[in-house]
Structure 1
Amino acid sequence: MSQAVTGTTMLRRQIGRKLESLRRAAGLTMEQAAEELDRARATLHRIENGAENVRFRAADVKEMLNLYGASGEDTELLLAMTAATRENKNWWHDYIGSGLPRWFQLYIGLEEAAANIRHYRPELVPGLLQTRAYASQVFAMPGGAVDADADEERERAIQLRIDRQALLTRFAAPQLSVILNEAVLRRPVGGGAVMPEQLHQILKAMELPNVTVRVLQFSAGLHAGAMSGAFSIIEFPEDSKGKEVEPPVAYLEAATGAIYLDKPHETAAYNTIWADMAGRALNESESKSLIQQVAEEYSRA
């Protein structure tokens, strides 16, 4: 797997998955391993979940691998993998501590590594499609992850959102599929001065071969997404044997944190919700027509 494409996030997830497997093979619970290593359980939890803020010292990794009875091959591999996390830095690390909540760091890395991204948004345009003016309105709202009163922090958060959009036009860009509730189009974020530009940006993005946007109209009635709220499903590339390098992840975001779900039954539940909405949404051509119509309504208002 190319580090140029994935940064350290996928690498850390693979390290965590491998260490968890070795721990379980050694017959140790996380509590037992933490006690033997004189570490906090929370530290091992972060390691096994691929947290970005874990620093792998070679001596600590060796101690862990010795406890787990790792083979010489596994030891050599994991020492090389953990060393790579100290040598690589994701482009978005410059934003940490100023506009980028720590719980969002993992998502950024997963997004960078994705082959397919699906977003359902009931209230707002997804960040990958937002204009600067629209993003400015979103980050100005109180109660969000970024302090709305801190101008510098807010501006850096907005710039990060704009920078992320290069993902859609890079080499080997992921496939982006979006379902928007009609409310996203009808809600006048920033009023007539912002919405026409925003809706035209969505239409422009839909011209890309890897971007699909569909609208779920009010007339579709009750749908599975009405109970779930906003969510994303992230799927990863396949290796030479046709196996995904990482299991899919369902991502749910709140004002002060996020949930990452990667168990098969969890992602299956969100795939079922997506399928229900996809079966009720307008097709892409109909969606384009509706978005264009609403944009014209804003312009005339």
Structure 2
Amino acid sequence: MSQSVTGTTMLRRQIGRKFESLRRAAGLTMEQAAERMDRARATLHRIENGAEHVRYRQADVQQMLDLYGASTADSELLLAMTAATRENKNWWHDYVGSGLPRWFQLYIGLESAASHIRQYESELVPGLLQTRAYAEHVSRLPSGGIDTSDDETHQRAVQLRVERQALLTRFSPPQLSVIINEAVLRRPVGSKGIMAEQLHQTIKAAELPNVTVRVMEFSAGLHAGMTAGGFSMLEFPRDATGREVEPPVTYIESATGAIYLDKPHETAVYGAIWADMTSRVLNESRSMSLIQRVAEEYSRA
């Protein structure tokens, strides 16, 4: 398995799905398995969900494999996969303990492994497109995961947001498709100069071959995104046989945590919401014209 392509986040999610499959094949509920191993149910839940902070100690892994009656082939595979998580770390691990919420760690890993990211934002410019000055103001807002009163923590949060943007210009970058509400353009964040810079930066980003930015005008009226709020939909590369290495994930963030949806019926709902919005949103050319016009208004003010 290529760590350079998927990182430990994808690996952990695959490990989690394999352990879940083995547990179900053994006819055990999560509660039953936890009781037999003298482990907390929450611990098994984190393992099966691929949580970033889970440590796969070899003795613990072997205990699970024995309990589930894993075959020799499955045991060898999972022992190798879990060992790999102890030998690698993702680039954002340097930020852990300095304000990066644990529930956001998983998203960054998935984002860096995605082949296509679709985002709808109703209030703010998406993090992957923010200028440093814009991010400075956004990161000062109260959040359940960041101590905004600590300047060092704040600066690291801003730096993380800026470093994430290298994703868009790396070798084999993901396709980023963004829809933003017109309110994102109209509501000032910081000074008018900061807004002008931010909108020009958005236009520049949209010039990349892998980035599209479209605007949902106020005049579009009612659209499905109004029932959903901001969200991100991530799709992942396929292997040599054409199979997805990971199922699509929809990410929804709040002030105190996040929801990751990967069941087919859940992703189908957000796919329908996205389809409705794309039928009502401005095309790329008209979106760029509107963003440019608003940027000039800020510049003249």
Alpha-carbon displacement from aligned partner over 1:160-197 (angstroms, at most 9, x marks no partner): 00000000000110000000000000011112120010
Aligned 8 A contact 2:203 2:288 in 1:
yes
CA distance in 2, matches of 1:78, 1:233: 28
Partner of residue 57, structure 2: 57
| Percentage of matched positions with identical amino acids | 76
**What does residue 120 of structure 2 align with?**
120
Amino acid at match of 1:64: M
Tell me, yes or no, if structure 1 residue 293 matches structure 2 residue 293: yes
SS of residue in 2 equivalent to 1:194: helix
Q: In 1, distance between residues paired with 2:294 and 2:86?
A: 49
Unaligned runs of 5+ in 1: none
User: What's the counterpart of residue 96 of structure 2?
Assistant: 96
Task: Look up the match of 2:105.
Answer: 105
Tell me the equivalent position of 1:178: 178
Q: Shift of the alpha carbon at 1:7?
A: 1.2
Q: For 2:148, what is the secondary structure of its paired residue?
A: coil
Count of matched residue positions in the alignment of Structure 1 and Structure 2 = 301
8 A contact 2:119–2:179 mirrored in 1: yes
Task: Deviation per CA, 1:211-262: give whole Å up to 9, x if none.
Answer: 0000000000010011110000000000111111010000000001000000
Aligned to 1:284: 284
Provide Cα deviations, 1:108-148, integer angstroms capped at 9, x if missing partner: 00001100001000000000000000000101123453222
For residues 57 and 226 of structure 1, the distance between their equivalents in structure 2, rounded to whole angstroms, comes to: 45
Alpha-carbon separation, structure 2, partners of 1:190 and 1:276: 32
Q: What is the identity, as a one-letter code, of the residue corresponding to 1:215?
A: V
**Gaps (5+ residues) in structure 2?**
none
The aligned amino acid for 1:102 is R
Indicate the residue corresponding to 1:230 in structure 2: 230
Runs of 4 or more consecutive aligned structure 1 residues displaced over 4 Å after TM superposition: none
Report the Cα distance in structure 1 between the residues aligned to 2:49 and 2:72, rounded to whole angstroms. 24
**1: CA distance, partners of 2:141 / 2:92:** 23
Secondary structure, counterpart of 2:242 in structure 1:
coil
SS of the counterpart of 1:179?
Answer: strand
Query: Secondary structure, in 3 states, of the residue corresponding to 1:271?
Result: helix
**Partners of 1:274 and 1:251 in 2: CA distance:** 13
The two structures have a TM-score, normalised by structure 1, of 0.99
Alignment-mate amino acid for residue 53 of structure 1: H
Q: CA RMSD in A?
A: 0.8
Q: Which SS does the other structure have where 2:279 is aligned?
A: helix
Superposed, which structure 2 residues align to 1:110-189 within 5 Å?
Answer: 110-143=110-143, 145-189=145-189
2-structure distance, mates of 1:52, 1:41? 17
Q: Distance in 2 between matches of 1:69 and 1:57?
A: 18
- 1:29-108 matched pairs, under 5 angstroms: 29-108=29-108
What is the one-letter code of the residue matched to 1:218? F
Contact 2:144–2:257 at 8 Å: present in 1 too?
Answer: no
Is the contact between residue 214 and residue 284 of structure 2 (CA under 8 Å) also seen in structure 1?
yes
| Alpha-carbon distance in 1 for matches of 2:147, 2:229 | 23
1:184 aligned partner, one-letter code: V
* SS in structure 2 of the partner of residue 280 of structure 1: coil
Measured in 2, the distance between the counterparts of 1:97 and 1:142 equals 18
Q: Secondary structure at the match of 1:110?
A: helix
Q: Secondary structure at the match of 1:256?
A: coil
Provide the rounded CA distance (Å) in 2 between the counterparts of 1:150 and 1:81: 38
Compute the displacement of 1:52 (Å). 0.6
